[in-house]
Chain A
Amino acid sequence: MATEGFPSPERVAQLHREARARLEEEFRRMTPLERMEEAYRLSTYMIDSSTVES
């Protein structure tokens, strides 16, 4: 089968949930300032100066 040896869609969904829970746990352990820095780090890919009027 073409899907043999691959995780099932259900397993992938489970892995997504586990990854997210792990990251959320890491966020919980951070200080408020560290969480803001994380938000900034996650933001950098969104910031596109071409969308801003000059």
Chain B
Amino acid sequence: MTAGSSEFRSLLNNLRARLDAERIPFAIGGSFATAARGYVRGTKDLDVMVVLSGEEDLLRVHRALLAAPTRFAWVNEVDFQDEETRLLIELLPVIDDAQRYAFDTAPLTPFQGAAGIRILSTEGIVLMLLRQATQERLANLQRIADIENLAARGAIDWKPVREWSQRMGYEAAYRQVRAPEKPPL
């Protein structure tokens, strides 16, 4: 194990301990989940999806991350920076059905004993990338490229992705993706 990997494991462990203590379910998304599912590239953001059972839960999440011993610093309203790895932790509360689907289908990945951590499935990541691409409109090329790179590295079950894209209005982004197995809308 390299020094870098122990730093990263320490970060995941710390995050898990803090969020578990507050009983906040969470899943790793974004580029780290994309790496876990086969397409490895550098990134400075660690996306953490959190499920809130009430609005007051978000305060508990912030409190948990800022609790002693100090490790995470406030960067802005939604991002924290991990003082050890310098990664930006982006908190993404689940606020729509597509995110809920991505969260609910995220497999538990074995991680240092305990119950493991949730990492989005390939299909969940693709759906979240389509969501981002739709919301960002013009700045979506990186998202589409990430989907195509994932598709080139392993099988994607396009059926749920297609259905959710139609249900959520991600059709334009879906059409942009060039992947041989992708069914048309």
Contacts and interface: CB of A to CB of B under 8 A. Distances in A.
A40 B36 contact: no
B104 to A, nearest CB: 18
Interface residues of A, number: 22
Interface stretch (B79-87, B131-139, B158-166): B79-87
A47 B38 CA distance: 22
Contacts of A33: 9, 36, 109-111
Given A35-B36, A52-B88, A40 B5 contact: yes
B32 interface: yes
A42 B42 contact: yes
B63 interface: no
A20 B9 CA distance: 26
A35 B35 contact: yes
A18 interface: no
B15 to A, nearest CB: 13
Interface in B78-125: 81, 85-88, 109-111, 119
B76 A40 contact: no
B126 to A, nearest CB: 16
Interface in A2-35: 24, 27-28, 32-35
Contacts of B8: 36-37, 40
Interface of A: 24, 27-28, 32-47, 49, 52-53
19 contacts: A28-B153, A32-B119, A33-B9, A33-B111, A35-B37, A35-B40, A36-B33, A36-B35, A37-B2, A37-B5, A38-B40, A39-B35, A39-B42, A41-B4, A42-B40, A42-B41, A43-B42, A43-B44, A44-B86
Given A33-B9, A36-B28, A45-B42, 17 more contacts: A32-B109, A32-B119, A34-B5, A35-B35, A36-B119, A37-B9, A39-B32, A39-B34, A39-B42, A40-B4, A40-B7, A41-B2, A42-B40, A43-B44, A44-B86, A52-B75, A53-B75
